[in-house]
Amino acid sequence: MKKIILIGLVMGLLTSFSYAQMGGGTMSGQKSETGKGQMMQQKGMMDRGQMMGGMMDMMNQMSGMMGKMSGMMKDMPADRMKMMSGMMKNMSTQMMDMSKMMEKGMVSEKEMKTMKDKMMRMQKKMNEMEMKK
């Protein structure tokens, strides 16, 4: 009888130990995901959906700017070509920054705001170039 109780006790200890090693089942995993989300919010990080929404907005803006550029290039004087070249370099840099953020899979709210501000400045500059036509 003592052997059965001892074997039951050992089995119970092994089961509880292995359960703890696996992360405590689904509840622990849910807690860690919730904790991760709260930690990201405290650090000012955006969740994946917010990040992708911001990236899609910037891509749409960039697409519109490229459409304007193609129309502006038809009869462009040399001085405007230099301005257009600078604009293209800025857009390329913006695309690289966006790519890096997507590769990381996360972005802070501050970084996203900085990128959106750069995009707005490029759009204003593009509008100014379009007015000088």
Q: What is the pLDDT of residues 8-29, one digit of tens each?
A: 665 665 566 555 555 544 444 4
User: Highest mean pLDDT range out of 18-22, 33-37, 118-122?
Assistant: 118-122
Helix 48-72 crosses helix 109-131 at what angle (to 10 degrees)? Answer: 10
Nearest to 98 by CA among 50, 46, 52: 52
Q: Percent of the chain having pLDDT more than 90?
A: 8
**DSSP H/E element including 107:** none
More confident residue, 7 or 108: 108
pTM score = 0.60
Residue 96 has pLDDT above 80, yes or no: yes
Q: How far is CA 72 from CA 59, 61, 67, 76, 125, in A?
A: 20, 17, 9, 7, 13
Q: Please give the residue range of the domain that contains residue 78.
A: 63-133
* 18 inside domain: no
* 93 inside domain: yes
* 31 inside domain: no
The pLDDT of residue 17 is 52
| Number of domains making up the chain | 1
* 115 inside domain: yes
* 8 inside domain: no
74 phi, psi to nearest 5 deg: -60, -55
CA dihedral 49, 54, 58, 64 (to 10 degrees): 70
How confident is residue 117, by pLDDT bands cut at 50, 70 and 90?
very high
Nearest to 116 by CA among 73, 72, 53: 53
* 37 inside domain: no
* 130 inside domain: yes
Average pLDDT over the chain, rounded to an integer: 76
Q: What mean pLDDT comes out for the span 53-77? A: 84
* 88 inside domain: yes
Q: How far is CA 60 from CA 35, 94, 123, in A?
A: 33, 13, 12
